[in-house]
């Protein structure tokens, strides 16, 4: 019987060299990413384990991104501990508070290649599936054990295959598609499973659009979101990786899937999608929410804070103004994204429209800083989670949407179909 991408990649990282869905296997990790969880939670676990070494300083990537730069003493202390760890063990890869959001900077680093097995101390570590790597998030204890041994155990997931055909043209974005897919799957519809995204729509996508989809696979509970590399992904890796460009892993033709879903974007008539609070799985067409007044429009995060996201927002907002009843906050996902947006004039356009542009950080998305919501406030956000309290007060309302919908809504001060602003 044939194998899925998850089975193949996990299998190639075991001593036995193969694995099948349902097996629990010990795997060697190619790369571990840790952020503030290191200083806050992992270091105490390492102390408890009496570990005073790291398995491989060239395979650990440390990032200070969630509360960057530190808005308070507690964050500053966590950042200080991370820096101390990096110095003490001579960790090769460190992005301090000036760098950006972990998933984006890791993708930019060239350290992720097709066929790799990557673990991150963050649930959105599924993002790297966009380059054909198996990646998933684990928490402090598992990360501590990986730091010590380079190994962890995984239950090999069954896979849901999703094929998507049809044109996804602006202002429709991959965010609309993934919100629709999560709504159909439900927020635990892919629990314990991996998702493979295939089809011509995915094949044609930019790396940025692909990352958005794999990033949000976790919102359906998935262990990983995987795509076979397309030309954009190959070019991305080739231009960034030093030498080794990885091994592309394709699923076998007779791979066994627990479910196979087909989407034809024309026949389903995909519209811009919006997920109302309190769940990313509550997505519905934007028409059902039009007219809801907003206090804040947030454009950023590991989900949608990349150059194409900022670009479409600037395109929609050029010569317009953020509605006087609302504020717009733009947080580029990384320094690289920020610099490229500066060169393209995107930052200027957004600033002229009245947006606030912050440094690169997780910031408002985790309710940390630079855009936290107050009681009863309504935010339309390009981020990934709208759980109660996620971006601040528990009574704040978060509507998840694409960067295009966020920009259109910022201009009108209410939730707006981006197709209306696009034509004006």
| Interface with another protein (CB under 8 A) | 24, 36-37, 40-41, 45, 48-50, 67, 72, 74-75, 77-78, 121-123, 125, 137-142, 144-145, 148, 153, 187-188, 191-192, 221, 223, 279, 366-368, 385, 387-390, 392, 394
Q: Considering beta carbons, is residue 148 or 245 the nearer one to another protein? A: 148
Q: Considering beta carbons, is residue 174 or 279 the nearer one to another protein? A: 279
The tokens describing 309, both together, are 């996201």
Residue 301 phi/psi, 5° resolution?
90, 170
Q: Considering beta carbons, is residue 234 or 387 the nearer one to another protein? A: 387
Q: How far apart are CB 227 and another protein at their closest, in Å?
A: 21
Residue 73, H or E segment: helix 73-89
Q: How far apart are CA 271 and CA 280, in angstroms?
A: 16
Q: How far apart are CB 39 and another protein at their closest, in Å?
A: 9
Q: How far apart are CB 70 and another protein at their closest, in Å?
A: 9
CB-hemisphere CA count at 13 Å for 361?
Answer: 24
Q: Considering beta carbons, is residue 97 or 322 the nearer one to another protein? A: 97
Q: Considering beta carbons, is residue 366 or 370 the nearer one to another protein? A: 366
Residue 177 phi/psi, 5° resolution?
-65, -45
Q: How far apart are CA 92 and CA 136, in angstroms?
A: 22
Q: Considering beta carbons, is residue 42 or 312 the nearer one to another protein? A: 42
Q: How far apart are CB 42 and another protein at their closest, in Å?
A: 9
Q: Considering beta carbons, is residue 190 or 355 the nearer one to another protein? A: 190
Q: How far apart are CA 381 and CA 395, in angstroms?
A: 16
Q: Considering beta carbons, is residue 293 or 394 the nearer one to another protein? A: 394
Q: 314: which residues sit within 8 A by CB, 6+ positions away?
A: 341, 344, 345, 346, 349, 350
Q: How far apart are CB 137 and another protein at their closest, in Å?
A: 4
% helix, strand, coil for the chain, step of 5: 40, 20, 40
What three-state secondary structure class fits 320?
Answer: coil
Q: How far apart are CB 257 and another protein at their closest, in Å?
A: 18
* Measured CA distances, 93 to 32, 136, 221 (Å): 10, 19, 29
The tokens describing 395, both together, are 């009574």
Specify whether the CB–CB gap between 308 and 407 falls below 8 A.
Answer: no
What three-state secondary structure class fits 134?
Answer: strand
Q: Considering beta carbons, is residue 72 or 200 the nearer one to another protein? A: 72
Q: How far apart are CB 127 and another protein at their closest, in Å?
A: 13
Q: Are strands 283-285 and 194-198 parallel, antiparallel or unpaired?
A: unpaired
Q: Which residue has the tokens 């204890």?
A: 141
Q: What is the DSSP string of 200-258?
A: HHHHH--HHHHHHHHHGGGGGT-SEEEE---HHHHHHHHHHSSS---------TTB--S
Q: How far apart are CB 24 and another protein at their closest, in Å?
A: 6
Q: How far apart are CB 345 and another protein at their closest, in Å?
A: 34
Q: How far apart are CB 164 and another protein at their closest, in Å?
A: 24
Q: Considering beta carbons, is residue 40 or 317 the nearer one to another protein? A: 40
Give the closest residue to 51 by CA, choosing from 131, 147, 142.
Answer: 147
């Amino acid at each position: 019987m044939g194998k899925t991408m998850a089975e193949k990649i996990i299998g190639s990282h075991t001593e036995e060299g193969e694995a099948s869905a349902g097996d629990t296997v010990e795997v060697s990790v190619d790369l571990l990413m840790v952020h503030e969880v290191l200083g806050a939670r992992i270091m105490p676990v390492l102390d408890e384990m009496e570990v005073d070494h790291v398995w491989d300083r060239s395979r650990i990537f440390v990032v200070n991104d969630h509360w960057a730069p530190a808005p308070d003493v507690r964050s500053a202390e966590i950042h200080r501990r991370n820096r101390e760890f990096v110095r003490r063990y001579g960790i090769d890869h460190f992005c301090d508070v000036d760098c950006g959001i972990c998933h984006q900077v890791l993708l930019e680093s060239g350290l992720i290649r097709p066929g790799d097995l990557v673990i991150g101390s963050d649930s959105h570590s599924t993002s790297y599936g966009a380059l054909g790597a198996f990646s998933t998030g684990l928490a402090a204890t598992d990360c501590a054990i990986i730091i010590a041994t380079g190994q962890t155990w995984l239950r090999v997931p069954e896979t849901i295959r999703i094929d998507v055909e049809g044109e996804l043209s602006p202002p429709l974005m991959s965010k609309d598609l993934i919100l629709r897919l999560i709504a159909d799957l439900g927020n635990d519809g892919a629990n314990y499973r991996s998702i493979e995204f295939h089809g011509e729509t995915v094949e044609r996508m930019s790396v940025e659009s692909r990352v958005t989809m794999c990033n949000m696979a976790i919102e359906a509970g998935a262990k990983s979101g995987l795509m076979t590399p397309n030309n954009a992904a190959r070019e991305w890796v080739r231009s960034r990786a030093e030498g080794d460009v990885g091994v592309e892993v394709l699923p076998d033709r007779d791979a066994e899937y627990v479910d196979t879903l087909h989407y034809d974007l024309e026949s389903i008539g995909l519209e811009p999608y919006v997920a109302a609070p309190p769940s990313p799985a509550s997505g519905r067409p934007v028409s059902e929410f039009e007219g809801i007044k907003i206090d804040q429009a947030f454009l950023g995060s590991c989900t949608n804070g990349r150059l194409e996201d900022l670009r479409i927002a600037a395109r929609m907002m050029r010569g317009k103004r953020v509605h006087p009843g609302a504020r717009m906050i733009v947080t580029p996902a990384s320094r690289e994204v920020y610099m490229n947006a500066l060169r393209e004039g995107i930052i200027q356009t957004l600033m002229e429209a009245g947006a606030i542009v912050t440094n690169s950080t997780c910031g408002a998305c985790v309710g940390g800083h630079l855009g936290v919501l107050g009681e009863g406030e309504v935010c339309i956000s390009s981020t990934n989670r709208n759980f109660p309290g996620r971006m601040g007060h528990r009574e704040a309302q978060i509507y998840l949407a694409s960067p295009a919908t966020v920009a259109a809504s910022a201009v009108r001060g209410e939730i707006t179909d981006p197709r209306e602003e696009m034509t004006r």
